[in-house]
């Protein structure tokens, strides 16, 4: 009986340690969005990221002047590339990804980055 009790305590301790490994699941990604020159463009990028999910996206900060977006996200539920692809599919070039040209054509002229 002592062997089973020791095993039970050992298993409980292992599970508690394992649960602690996943406590900090929030990461931040910085997105470089060169065509984001106006507030409307920033709002479009923010909306594209927000659509990824309320539980997965924790915070979105947009700096139109710097043409940067910072996203705090749950890295267990979502990958960095998922966020970049969402912005790409909204019609914007982001980090090393080119824009989805079909979506880019539907953007307002000031958000296309034609200049």
Query: Cα separation of 93 and 114, whole Å?
Result: 12
Confidence of residue 6 (pLDDT cuts 50, 70, 90): low
Per-residue confidence band for 15, with pLDDT thresholds at 50, 70 and 90: low
Do the beta carbons of residue 60 and residue 67 sit within 8 Å? Answer: no
Domain 24-111 has CATH 3.30.70.100: yes
Domain positions in the chain: 24-111
51-69 pLDDT, tens digit each? 998 889 999 999 999 999 9
pLDDT for res 55: 86
The answer to whether the Cα torsion of 83, 89, 90, 92 is positive or negative is positive
Check residue 113 and give its pLDDT. Answer: 78
18, 51 contact by CB (below 8 A): no
């Amino acid at each position: 009986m002592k062997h089973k009790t020791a095993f039970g305590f050992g298993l409980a301790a292992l599970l508690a340690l394992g649960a602690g490994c996943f406590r900090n699941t929030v990461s931040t990604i910085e997105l470089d969005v060169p065509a984001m020159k106006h507030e409307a463009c920033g709002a479009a990028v923010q909306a594209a990221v927000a659509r990824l999910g309320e539980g997965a996206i924790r915070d979105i900060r947009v700096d139109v002047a710097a043409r940067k977006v910072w996203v705090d996200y749950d890295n267990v539920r979502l990958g960095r590339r998922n966020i970049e692809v969402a912005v790409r599919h909204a019609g914007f070039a982001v980090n090393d990804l080119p824009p989805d040209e079909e979506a880019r054509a539907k953007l307002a002229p000031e958000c296309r980055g034609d200049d």
